[in-house]
Structure 1
Amino acid sequence: MPSDDVDHDPSTEAGGIPIREIQSLEEFDQAALSGSLAGCRIQALDLTERTFALLVVDSSQAVFLGCPMEPQALAHIRAGGALVFPPVPDLPFDPYRGAPYTPDELYAGLETEGYAGTPDARTYAWYRRTGHNGDVLASMLRSVHDDALSDALDEMLRGSRVVGVMGGHAMERGSRAYAGAARLGRDLARSGLTVATGGGPGAMEAANFGAYAAPYDDVMLGKALEVLARVPSFGPSVDDWAAAAMAVRDRWPDGGPSYGLPTWFYGHEPANPFAAHIAKYFANATREDGLLSRCNAGVVFLPGAAGTVQEVFDAATTNYYGSRGEPAPMVLVDRAHWTTELPVWPLLTRLAGERPMADRIALVESVTEVPAALARLAWG
């Protein structure tokens, strides 16, 4: 029984053994050299060439998630007390992955096989086959995948000031609104904030593209917008839409980082290639809550339809009840849209009343006003 004057965090221990996550072969080799993998969580590593290490190391209470290994190594670590979740054959995705996707991962094969042959499209096809057929294995694999992504996001975003940019997928490249959203993403990234979006096309892509363009000058921004404008939308050809984005990335390869959280629930909308880190979920509810909950520096709502309205009130609900502590800033852009076309603002202000969230909401006319509004709301 632990002493009263010693901190005891059961979340970091398994049966008294400290838990450690291992997500690279370098980390594995270091742990193996110590002689013990006890309590370790080894995630999505190919261990077929680490047989000797596995045969001599202590594996008690270790967990192996999707790690290929030789049969004799597998038998030994199981006998030593390890729990093993083996790789699942014939899946277009890795349910145990330890990091968000990159654009190159999701769009691998675009040039040779077209979008239909990419991991992004093949995973969506798998989801359409299995998402509603009651297969408990498929359901479990989706849940494990989404939880692994959430864990990876928490690790990567720890200590970051994250601002979300929400908006509709229908915003077309080449439009003034798209260029404005891109400049907003660039301004936010240049101010030291980490930009996160829903990861799809339209306003989401524009904000991710803006963050990508942050290290470059106005000339790059203008020329890249011209390239993108040649393919305004992902319909009718995702191939052409994605190829235009990849052409921008190839011409200006050293873009700034940002995050995108799309979903295969809306898999007909492809993930945009400008987010450096793409956490693509199967469960849209997990994705929505996960995105908003990580926006600790506030959320910007560009004009959108039902999905954006849902996000406004998802954020408002947590601010209203204070379920995540102090309310996070909420900035709605375009007065006519949010007061006349979709009169969300009057309801939001009525809901806020005299609660603390009333001092954390703002309605502005233009994206140029957003950075100042965020700063004002953040500091009262």
Structure 2
Amino acid sequence: MLPSEASAPHPGDREIETLAAFDEVVAERGSLAGYRVQAVDLTDRTDALLTLDTADAVFLGCPMHEDAAARVRASGALVFPPVPGLPFDPYLARLYTPGDLFAGLADGGYDATPDARAHAWFQRTKADGDVFASMLRAVHDDSVSDALDELLHGARVVGVMGGHAMARGTDAYAGAARLGRSLARAGLTVATGGGPGAMEAANLGAYAAPYDDTMLDESLELLAEAPSFTPSVTAWAKAAFRVRERWPDGGASVGIPTWFYGHEPPNAFAAHLAKYFANATREDGLLARSNAGVVFLPGAAGTVQEIFDNATPNYYASRGEPTPMVLVGEAHWTTHLPAWPLLRALATDRPMAARITLVDDAETAAEVLVPAVGNRPAG
């Protein structure tokens, strides 16, 4: 469960990320000296910018009139202006929503959406060695990390990992959705890789948590009409938005996808999408923020990598500190991709041995993990 925006403490009391916060600081302090103003449209605040102290302030991607920009620069502020022509905001102050990334889907299809256009921009720029493009990607990803940390402050986060190939309409997909629902109903924040398949299923389950059980059953039936994001991302995404429109008050969860995998669109059931250009930053950040444990559903190379990326800090943790790791799918993890025997061998004589579990289905994973987390505070 995510802290409400009203109750969650802001880790940086010198940051201004909304116009309302800007007005509050101006009214209470009469100065912007030393503040960091991020992605706030200040075109209607010229009078304030022409008169207030802005020494040592930083304005990141804030539209403002040129006379205001000239004045705050002269007063000792740094101004990083918006970058025209980009399909994304490198200075964004909050995480994306499904509506942000899929805007234009209904009329123009997936190719018209900001998500698709950002990926196309990434493809054009990632190999040309342009230092400006790489700087924009780095600034964007750092802004995403900052917003993600603010959102998850104080939350108990359970990561749910698994492959994108898990199709809607399968028993495995339904089980992963029920897992996400059980975790959310236990007061935990579900965080996934934000993509299709197992990731979407877990986010769907968290979305279904406030409703009675029949809502998830009916949603699964509707989604099964478009089992996969191939051959049509448009049809796949529209099916998800039909579910959201029918049940608009779903529970919140987090998805952390990447534009690195262009073939893998984000899913529409995570309320908050922390989408990165750098996949390594995304994967490390997802695991690091899963402070209440991780469930590993059947997957391929990426999921195997995540198992051992997660095992490393647990291996070196002192007694009592390792977080739970639950692997789902005995045949998958012992025979098909035998990660479990290696993980068990790694855990020999280590405190983490008591915190790793192999189960055969996703619903059992929730039964194991929720008591293991208990009332442990967020790490």
TM-score by length of 1: 0.93
| 2:314 aligned partner | 319
Q: Which amino acid aligns with 2:316?
A: Y
The 5 A counterparts of 1:265-284 are 265-284=260-279
Moved more, 218-227 or 96-105: 218-227
Task: Encode CA deviations 1:7-41: one digit per residue, 9 max, x unaligned.
Answer: xxxxx9xxxxx960000001101112222111111
The 5 A counterparts of 1:51-70 are 51-70=46-65
The 5 A counterparts of 1:69-218 are 69-218=64-213
Deviation at 1:230, TM superposition (A): 0.2
CA contact (8 A) 1:107 1:119 kept: yes
Instruction: State the distance in 1 between where 2:361 and 2:25 align.
Output: 53
The answer to whether 1:42 aligns with 2:60 is: no
1:42 partner SS: strand
| 2:8 aligned partner | none
| 1:298 aligned partner | 293
Percent of counterpart pairs with the same letter? 69
CA contact (8 A) 2:119 2:259 kept: yes
Task: Encode CA deviations 1:34-87: one digit per residue, 9 max, x unaligned.
Answer: 221111110001111100000111101100000010011001100111011111
Structure 1 portions without partners, runs of 5+: 1-11, 13-17
Q: Which amino acid aligns with 1:224?
A: S
Task: Encode CA deviations 1:274-319: one digit per residue, 9 max, x unaligned.
Answer: 0000000000000001000000110000000001001101101121
The answer to whether 1:22 aligns with 2:28 is: no
1:37 partner SS: coil
1:108 partner SS: coil
Q: Which amino acid aligns with 2:17?
A: Q
CA contact (8 A) 2:183 2:370 kept: no
| 2:3 aligned partner | none
Q: Which amino acid aligns with 1:22?
A: I
| 1:229 aligned partner | 224
Structure ranking higher on relative contact order (CA contacts 8 Å, 6+ apart): 2
Instruction: State the distance in 2 between where 1:188 and 1:157 align.
Output: 16
Instruction: State the distance in 2 between where 1:244 and 1:337 align.
Output: 29
Task: Encode CA deviations 1:224-272: one digit per residue, 9 max, x unaligned.
Answer: 1111000000000000000000000001100000000000001211000
Q: CA RMSD in A?
A: 1.6
1:264 partner SS: coil
CA contact (8 A) 1:19 1:39 kept: no
Moved more, 214-223 or 66-75: 214-223
2:358 partner SS: strand
Instruction: State the distance in 2 between where 1:59 and 1:133 align.
Output: 38
| 1:6 aligned partner | none
Instruction: State the distance in 2 between where 1:330 and 1:222 align.
Output: 28
CA contact (8 A) 2:186 2:370 kept: no
CA contact (8 A) 1:264 1:281 kept: yes
1:266 partner SS: coil
Q: Which runs of 4+ in 1 moved over 2 A?
A: 375-380
Task: Encode CA deviations 1:189-243: one digit per residue, 9 max, x unaligned.
Answer: 0000000000000000000000000011122111111110000000000000000
Instruction: State the distance in 1 between where 2:108 and 2:126 align.
Output: 25
Instruction: State the distance in 1 between where 2:313 and 2:222 align.
Output: 40
The answer to whether 1:338 aligns with 2:339 is: no
CA contact (8 A) 1:327 1:357 kept: yes
| 1:32 aligned partner | 26
Instruction: State the distance in 1 between where 2:197 and 2:322 align.
Output: 28
| 1:254 aligned partner | 249
Instruction: State the distance in 2 between where 1:53 and 1:373 align.
Output: 56
Deviation at 1:376, TM superposition (A): 4.7
CA contact (8 A) 1:99 1:152 kept: yes
Select the residue among 299, 323, 326 that pairs with 1:328: 323
1:163 partner SS: strand
Structure 2 portions without partners, runs of 5+: 1-10
Closer, same or farther: CA 89–82 of 1 in aligned 2, 3 Å: same
CA contact (8 A) 1:330 1:361 kept: yes
